[in-house]
Amino acid sequence: MQSTSLMGLCVHDNNQTREKFQSDLPRQSSEQEASLPEPSKLQAATATLGHGASSSRFPYEGHIEFDEPVKDLLEEARCSWSFDVMQLQSASKGQALTALALTFFKDMGLVEALHLHPGKLKNFLGHMERGYINNPYHNSIHTALVLQSLHMLMTHGKVLASFDEASQPLILLTSYIAAIIHDFGHMGVNNNFLIHSMDELALLHNDHSPNENHHLAAAFKVLFHPRCNFMEQLPPEVVRLIRKLVISMVLKTDMSLHFATISSFKSLIRSRRFMEDGKVLPDAVDLVLQMLLKAADLTHTTIASSHHLCWVARLEEEMFRQGDREQRVGMPISPLMDRSQPGMSASQVGFFELVIIPLYEGLTYAFEDVNVMLNAAKDNHRLWVQGNQSVIAQQVAQLRASIPPTTHWSP
């Protein structure tokens, strides 16, 4: 993170700054809006912004009202380390992500504190939610759970209080945006598949984290659309810094970078560059935020075992579908993706011991209230070590059988 940190920036309701900022943005005229290019595969996730964008395509602005069962679940989401996001998805008729985001933005006073545009925020959230493909695992429900977990880390995990007070609204905004967009437009296949099949996304991003680069590029395209740019009143230097942090957070969700990130974080917390007087130092902000998103992204390992098994089944099914695809196109089937062999649910013990426990241990060492997640991860680890494996395998298989086929949104 550069020295001009969030801590050094303040938000002005300043017309001059606003006008300058607006002129800096790649704004589109109404003619340009009406002739946005035809969605290609690369643009599939942002296709709702395509031809003929009109107010009827933005149904979220100004009127979102949730009924009592949804309100009760949102109340629970504010304080649960093991939230049943599936129940919220069902009760809200597929709007768990939007419902949670609006709740947290409101609770934390971000709209008022940062002069965000509430209607454009709703537009943005609606486009994000609809731009997620209904993959078994990488879908808007997973993202809603990641957002809820990040909120818990910040509030009940007391991580937000570890940042300089003046920067807290921007830290929170940055974190929420990163969570909301972090798997946007995920195609249900991993980076290896994209790279080895020379997919358009791999070609575009030169084989560097094609999934994560795609999520960012597609989501920022939506965010900066005039109808969705809820940050338009923020000074441009603040928006640039938020964008820089969000990019670094989402890129570090690429699991091929996991061990390097954990190692960097452990070195950081052992050094004098981490905290002073109980506050995270400016140069450490970037890495701390990266770790928080990673911890939230893997939160399915820290929730009640019954919910955890649901997500394991979903991930296993998504991996099998990739294996099916590899077989169809004549590629070698990737490890743990062959439907005729044991899947990733059979390798959970090693995954917890090598990946999950060290992640939450590192974070708990830095922020002790995160130990709730660590303890829950250890409970789930025990399930995989001590549980009856054939019974668990049967449960996972049953859960997998109920996952609907993947359908792609078409404009």
Give the shortest CB-75-to-Zn ion separation in angstroms: 25
Of 45-53, 167-175, 178-186, 309-317, which segment contacts Zn ion by CB under 5 A?
A: 178-186
| 139 annotated ligand-binding residue | yes
Give the shortest CB-283-to-Zn ion separation in angstroms: 27
Half-sphere exposure of 205 (CA within 13 A, CB side): 20
| Marked catalytic residue, from 12, 51, 63, 138 | 138
| 141 annotated ligand-binding residue | yes
Q: Is the Cβ of residue 183 or residue 317 nearer to Zn ion in the bound state? A: 183
Q: Is the Cβ of residue 183 or residue 286 nearer to Zn ion in the bound state? A: 183
Inter-CA distances, 368 with 172, 185, 244, 364, 379, Å: 19, 34, 28, 5, 18
Report whether 28 contacts 221 (CB < 8 A): no
Contact status: 212 vs Zn ion (CB under 5 A): no
**Rounded to whole angstroms, how far apart are CA atoms 298 and 258?**
11
Query: Which tokens belong to 141?
Result: 């429900």
| 254 annotated ligand-binding residue | no
| 140 annotated ligand-binding residue | yes
Give the shortest CB-67-to-Zn ion separation in angstroms: 29
CB atoms closer than 10 angstroms to residue 372: 17
Size of the site for Zn ion (CB under 5 A): 2
- Binder of Zn ion out of 297, 316, 317, 326 (CB under 5 A): 297
CA 193 distance to own-chain centroid: 21
Query: Which tokens belong to 294?
Result: 């990673």
- Binder of Zn ion out of 84, 183, 212, 326 (CB under 5 A): 183
SS3 of residue 186 by DSSP: coil
Of 25-33, 280-288, 297-305, 307-315, which segment contacts Zn ion by CB under 5 A?
A: 297-305
Q: Is the Cβ of residue 164 or residue 254 nearer to Zn ion in the bound state? A: 254
**Rounded to whole angstroms, how far apart are CA atoms 74 and 67?**
11
Give the shortest CB-308-to-Zn ion separation in angstroms: 15
Of 20-28, 48-56, 124-132, 179-187, which segment contacts Zn ion by CB under 5 A?
A: 179-187
- Does residue 138 have an active-site annotation? yes
**Rounded to whole angstroms, how far apart are CA atoms 74 and 85?**
10
Give the shortest CB-331-to-Zn ion separation in angstroms: 24
| 72 annotated ligand-binding residue | no
Please enumerate in sequence order all residues whose Cβ is within 8 A of that of 169, keeping only pairs 6 or more positions apart, or say none. Answer: 11, 108, 109, 110, 113, 114
Report whether 154 contacts 160 (CB < 8 A): yes
- Active-site annotation, residues: 138
By CB under 5 A, name the binding residues for Zn ion. 183, 297
Write out the binding residues for Zn(2+): 142, 182-183, 297
